[in-house]
Chain A
Amino acid sequence: MTTVRNLACLSIFLLAACGADPAPGPVEQIIVREPGAAPVETAAVVTDAAPAGALLAEGKAAFASCSACHALEQGAPNGAGPNLFGIVGSPAGKVAGFSYSNAMKTSGITWTASELDSFIADPAAKVPGTTMVAGAIADPAKRQAVIAYLESVTAN
């Protein structure tokens, strides 16, 4: 439940209590939930955002850690890993200008969502010899979110 408290009076109280130069409390305090409480909103109860929107937001947030190595903007340079723009559905080892491992170049994989899923779960198991040594995602839901996000980023 979302609660809104108006605490404008608090600062007046502090002023009276402390004398000079009080530090004011909040003018408006929206308590979404208490720490430790389960999130009140799930994809099902969010009405003003489609479920896909929540998934993409989660994927985007999760991709933050991938972005240390991977760019996702069209035309952006490769980092420690290749640019992932348009990666879903593309053949493995083909991003221009990136120096792939032989293992990746010869893997023959096409990056469907399910291939990506198994690769991100454990890159070295899926493509032994890959230079992707970090960034595996153990949580299946998070992988799905990241893949959905990767797929959602298109030229516009």
Chain B
Amino acid sequence: MGKWSRRAFIGAGVAAGGALVVGVAVRQGNPIDRLAPLLTNGDNEQLLNAWVKLDSDNIVTAVIPHVEMGQGVYTALAQMLADEMDAEWSKVRILEAPADKQYVSDSIGRDFLFPDLEVPALLEPTVTGGILELAQAMGLQFTGGSYSVRATGQRAMRTAGAAAREMLVEAAASEWQVPASEITTADSMLIHAKSGKSEPFAKFARAAAEQSLPAKPTLKSPENYKIMGQPKKRHDIPEKVDGSAIFGIDADVPGMKYAAVKAPPVIGATVVSMDATTAKTMPGVLQILNMGDFVAVVADGYWQAQQALGTITAQYDKTEADSLDDDAIFARYASYLDEAGEDGGDLETEEGDVATGFADAATKVEAEYKVPFLAHATMEPMNCTAWVRDGKCDVWSGHQAPVNARQAAADAAGLDFDDVTYHNAYLGGGFGRRSTSDYITMATRIAKATGYPVKMIWSREEDTAQDHYRPSATSRFRGGLDKEGKLVSWDNIHTHLFDPKDAPTVPYYNIASHKIRKVDVPMHLRFGPWRSVDHSQHGFFIESFVDELAQAAGKDGYAFRRELLAESPRHLKVLDTAAKMSGWGSALPEKHGRGIAFVPSFGSLVAQVAEVDMSGPRPKVTKVYVAADPGFVVNPDGFTAQMESGIVYGLTAALYGDITVKDGAVQQSNFHDYPVLRINEMPEVKVELINGDHERLGGGGEPGLPPIAPAVTNAIFAATGTRIRELPLSKHSFA
């Protein structure tokens, strides 16, 4: 479709069930005729634009093109829309957008594809449309990368709210015969002070539809925020407390049967044959399937399916990975790094002359760090319910990229995208695991084979051993200090690079020369984005090495970082805040230590100070002080919770996280051998938030994680003098 035509789409909107639909704030084309029937119920609800619905009871519904996986995004995004619209918060409801390509987040696409692109008018259709096409090709209706608030919220939800407000004002001005500039809005009311008139938004919903879509709605400046910046209660919490929340695993389809699955222990192997003699006779069993890449049992109940599956013996073919173990994988990393030497590998970034800088350095420091594979261990194991029949397919699950999930189901069912309906539910943890679609594909293939609806649930063992893992990695550093102990040379080479590409870089540290390279090494296990992705390892590598350099320079870790950040006041403030919160420099009991780490990621600056107690046989992290500057905090309660949960997840990995490989297979299976942090191990966490730049927001979901591991290991060094260069800490003895 060419240029957006207001008339055309208003007509279409009225036709679609009587719902009046207005405007697509940052959309080219006219999706409303298709979206209105998906989103509205009868005459009483008006879809104001792709993100706003207004009903006759003056309820404003924010349509959220992101998924809720515990991060509170529904609430934060609704706050952004409601604030710009001047909606009454208690009358704001939330609806997750359908898995429709119209909701593909072009604002995310823009950040992925053109991070530095400044669009003069946010609504400029050509630019947006072009990026939208690219984003659609990439299937981004994506929740991840800590992008929701900073991209969709900042660029789409706020604009949509402001546009809806302006259209309502225009409608009221026309009805009341007063200048629009004399009309104010507050709490979902339109007010004309001079004449004393005031009416609820709902009264003008239809008339608003007849107004021109504002070319560039005026966004509020921070001093006028009423809802943004407030710790509004999470919309999803009550139903998660009372148990009524529906997760993917709760899908309930009439006639649904259950599938249990088992894939070859060596990922990538094929099931050559299976012996299902016993399984066939077991209660409830309906079908037993060798799908080639996995075995499935379909039964009346999940337990029956799982019990029958347990009796099946399968033969797998041999693969090259059969002899692989961790030593071999790390040996391979080492050989690739050795081969790259001082100049090989792929150059990521270079400034100045590292070789000369290092040669001339008064003090030279070298170190190598390693991290293991990590599983996601979401509380809700992978699951998906699918029904393929009559040329149609319905799929129920929780997925971070619903459009991708819908496409995966279409491919698996052999159907067109349009013949698949994807029903997304809450995600019982995502962390990146639910951005891959393997479990959608598997369930759809099973359902296609059976012809009736099937809910496939992975056992915890399957979930642990068949994950897409945070890769293990090795990183080597050489650093040079001048005779004043100033860092002048930084040379790093590490294995593989996925995302974000800036994770290994340290542009915020003032270092005269630096060079960062990578080598791509086959690693056998499947890569999966894992909360904070490459920052999860590079945060540890970089901030450990900075601490080693500080030690070599005879300087305090905090003071050394201060020098490196001296020209970046915003960064410095974050570092200083964390240090001050922690009482940095004050005395601690014997065998206690403090460590500091600073990692900017996903647009947010985060510093953490950890305190550890090393008096026992194992490290105990007692306190963590967090200072974070994401530009502007939309919901302080939600953002704080994200910092805390990033620490839980990152501390779990630092203390215990270790997926190991033997004979090509993952050895861990459940929480006894892949433990997660327990409540009695949780440190006291204090968070201070800084609003450093309200125009360029950073993310919240991931940036809390990268600093925790190095803050803890630096604290262990402070307490014991032992430098940890390999995670997890459970590998090390402190007795």
A-facing residues in B255-285 (Cβ within 8 Å): 255, 257, 271, 274, 276-277, 280-285
CB contacts (< 8 Å) of A17 on chain B: these are 414
- The listed residue (A23, A28, A29, A46) touching B444 by CB distance below 8 A is A23
Query: Is A57 on the interface with B (CB-CB < 8 A)?
Result: yes
Given the known interface contacts A22-B414, A23-B412, A61-B304, the answer about A28 and B290 at a Cβ–Cβ threshold of 8 Å is yes
Stretch at the interface among A33-41, A68-76, A97-105, A119-127: A33-41
CB contacts (< 8 Å) of A128 on chain B: these are none
- Interface contact A46-B449, CB-CB below 8 Å: no
- Interface contact A57-B282, CB-CB below 8 Å: yes
A-facing residues in B300-357 (Cβ within 8 Å): 300, 303-304, 307
- The listed residue (A28, A31, A41, A64) touching B281 by CB distance below 8 A is A41
CB contacts (< 8 Å) of B293 on chain A: these are 24
Per the bound structure, the CA–CA distance linking A17 and B33 in Å amounts to: 32
- Interface contact B286-A31, CB-CB below 8 Å: yes
B-facing residues in A27-80 (Cβ within 8 Å): 27-35, 39, 41, 46, 48-49, 57-58, 61, 64
Per the bound structure, the CA–CA distance linking A22 and B291 in Å amounts to: 13
CB contacts (< 8 Å) of B413 on chain A: these are 23
Nearest-neighbour CB distance to chain A for B303, whole angstroms, equals 6
- Interface contact B445-A25, CB-CB below 8 Å: yes
Query: Is B466 on the interface with A (CB-CB < 8 A)?
Result: no
Nearest residue, chain B, Cβ from A8: B292
Query: Is B592 on the interface with A (CB-CB < 8 A)?
Result: no
CB contacts (< 8 Å) of B365 on chain A: these are none
- Interface contact A27-B283, CB-CB below 8 Å: no
Nearest-neighbour CB distance to chain A for B291, whole angstroms, equals 5
CB contacts (< 8 Å) of A35 on chain B: these are 255, 257, 286, 300, 452
CB contacts (< 8 Å) of B380 on chain A: these are none
CB contacts (< 8 Å) of B284 on chain A: these are 39
Query: Is A139 on the interface with B (CB-CB < 8 A)?
Result: no
Q: Of B292, B293, B445, which is in contact with the most chain A CB atoms at under 10 Å from its CB?
A: B292
- Interface contact A26-B286, CB-CB below 8 Å: no
Query: Is A95 on the interface with B (CB-CB < 8 A)?
Result: no
Nearest residue, chain B, Cβ from A5: B449
Q: Of B281, B282, B290, B292, which is in contact with the most chain A CB atoms at under 10 Å from its CB?
A: B281
Query: Is A2 on the interface with B (CB-CB < 8 A)?
Result: yes
- Interface contact A58-B283, CB-CB below 8 Å: yes
Per the bound structure, the CA–CA distance linking A128 and B528 in Å amounts to: 56
Per the bound structure, the CA–CA distance linking A28 and B287 in Å amounts to: 10
Per the bound structure, the CA–CA distance linking A81 and B304 in Å amounts to: 25
Per the bound structure, the CA–CA distance linking A11 and B449 in Å amounts to: 11
Per the bound structure, the CA–CA distance linking A7 and B290 in Å amounts to: 10
Per the bound structure, the CA–CA distance linking A61 and B300 in Å amounts to: 13
Given the known interface contacts A23-B445, A25-B445, the answer about A46 and B289 at a Cβ–Cβ threshold of 8 Å is no
CB contacts (< 8 Å) of A39 on chain B: these are 283-284
- Interface contact A27-B281, CB-CB below 8 Å: no
CB contacts (< 8 Å) of A7 on chain B: these are 449
Nearest residue, chain A, Cβ from B408: A23
Per the bound structure, the CA–CA distance linking A41 and B257 in Å amounts to: 19
CB contacts (< 8 Å) of B482 on chain A: these are none
Per the bound structure, the CA–CA distance linking A57 and B308 in Å amounts to: 11
CB contacts (< 8 Å) of B285 on chain A: these are 32
- Interface contact B280-A28, CB-CB below 8 Å: no
Nearest-neighbour CB distance to chain A for B687, whole angstroms, equals 37
CB contacts (< 8 Å) of A34 on chain B: these are 286
- Interface contact A23-B281, CB-CB below 8 Å: no
- Interface contact A26-B290, CB-CB below 8 Å: yes
- Interface contact A28-B445, CB-CB below 8 Å: no
CB contacts (< 8 Å) of B307 on chain A: these are 61
- The listed residue (B287, B412, B414, B445) touching A30 by CB distance below 8 A is B287
CB contacts (< 8 Å) of B286 on chain A: these are 31-35
Query: Is B441 on the interface with A (CB-CB < 8 A)?
Result: yes
- The listed residue (A30, A58, A61) touching B289 by CB distance below 8 A is A30
CB contacts (< 8 Å) of A25 on chain B: these are 291, 445, 448-449
Given the known interface contacts A24-B445, A46-B281, the answer about A32 and B287 at a Cβ–Cβ threshold of 8 Å is yes
Per the bound structure, the CA–CA distance linking A58 and B411 in Å amounts to: 39
Query: Is B288 on the interface with A (CB-CB < 8 A)?
Result: yes
Per the bound structure, the CA–CA distance linking A15 and B257 in Å amounts to: 28
- Interface contact B411-A23, CB-CB below 8 Å: yes
- The listed residue (A24, A31, A49, A58) touching B287 by CB distance below 8 A is A31
CB contacts (< 8 Å) of A49 on chain B: these are 281
Nearest residue, chain A, Cβ from B296: A26
Per the bound structure, the CA–CA distance linking A7 and B451 in Å amounts to: 15
Nearest residue, chain A, Cβ from B285: A32
Nearest-neighbour CB distance to chain A for B467, whole angstroms, equals 20
Interface string of A1-12 (1 = CB under 8 A from B): 010000100010
- Interface contact B291-A24, CB-CB below 8 Å: yes
CB contacts (< 8 Å) of B448 on chain A: these are 25
Per the bound structure, the CA–CA distance linking A2 and B286 in Å amounts to: 10
Per the bound structure, the CA–CA distance linking A17 and B281 in Å amounts to: 36
CB contacts (< 8 Å) of A26 on chain B: these are 289-292, 449
- The listed residue (B276, B291, B303) touching A27 by CB distance below 8 A is B291
CB contacts (< 8 Å) of A14 on chain B: these are 414
Nearest residue, chain A, Cβ from B293: A24
Per the bound structure, the CA–CA distance linking A14 and B286 in Å amounts to: 25
CB contacts (< 8 Å) of B287 on chain A: these are 29-32
Nearest residue, chain A, Cβ from B446: A26
Per the bound structure, the CA–CA distance linking A113 and B452 in Å amounts to: 41
Given the known interface contacts A23-B441, A25-B449, A49-B281, the answer about A32 and B414 at a Cβ–Cβ threshold of 8 Å is no
CB contacts (< 8 Å) of B280 on chain A: these are 2, 30, 32
Besides the known contacts A17-B414, A29-B288, 14 further A-B residue pairs in the complex with CB atoms under 8 A apart:
A14-B414, A18-B411, A18-B414, A22-B414, A24-B293, A26-B289, A29-B289, A29-B290, A39-B283, A39-B284, A46-B281, A49-B281, A57-B282, A61-B303
Using a CB–CB distance below 8 Å, which chain B residues touch chain A? 255, 257, 271, 274, 276-277, 280-293, 300, 303-304, 307, 411-414, 441, 444-445, 448-449, 452
Using a CB–CB distance below 8 Å, which chain A residues touch chain B? 2, 7, 11, 14, 17-18, 21-35, 39, 41, 46, 48-49, 57-58, 61, 64
The 5 closest A-B pairs by CB, nearest first: A23-B412, A28-B290, A30-B288, A26-B289, A27-B290
Cross-chain pairs A/B with CB under 8 angstroms, 12 sampled: A18-B414, A23-B445, A24-B445, A25-B291, A26-B290, A30-B280, A32-B280, A32-B285, A33-B286, A39-B284, A61-B303, A61-B307
